Amino acid sequence: MSDTDKGLNEDDRRQLENTLEERFGYTLCLYDRDILPGQAVAETVLESTEQSRAVVLVPCSSDPGPGIGLLSAIHEALVERKTRLILINTKLTEGSKSDSLPEALQLLCKAGDCVTWKGSPPSSTFWKELRYHLPAPQHAPRRAHRLLSQTGYEVPSL
């Protein structure tokens, strides 16, 4: 399956990550950046989920694969802690019939709020809807910290 079939290509994904972290001040747990080689993926993701006030899920494959158990565990953790779930619909989830998605992903889709990614660049409506569903960030955006450090003022570390 190509990136365009998935709904988010690498540039879209980077834009989503950078905007949430640098522009809006959210802290993300990203599989390819925050899970170290050799770490138990399921444990690390569940730990991060348990520490979060909200989880943003971007499905990138309709293949259940080994992630099915992880999705079920995430669903249980979200229900137990009453953590908010925001699902970013992509071409994969929008174009799929609900019965073609793994059962655990179907449960997550029903349990959370949905925002639709319509391609790059995302509309301001997308960002407004996403931020509506997210809790307020707990720290200032990184961009603000960078600007402050360039002016010579002391900048608190994140």
What is Dmax (Cα atoms) for the chain? Answer: 56
Three-state helix/strand/coil letters over 28-61: CCCHHHHCCCCCCHHHHHHHHHHHCCEEEECCCC
CA–CA separation, 138 and 26 (whole Å): 7
pLDDT value, residue 31: 74
3-state secondary structure of 16: helix
Q: What integer is the mean pLDDT of 36-56?
A: 82
What's the N-to-C CA distance of the chain in angstroms? 38
The string of pLDDT tens digits covering residues 61-105 is 555 555 666 777 777 777 787 888 888 887 655 555 555 666 767
The string of pLDDT tens digits covering residues 140-149 is 665 544 444 3
Q: Show the DSSP H helices in 58-115 as ranges.
A: 67-81, 91-95, 103-111
Does residue 42 have a pLDDT over 70? yes
Domain boundaries, the chain: 3-151
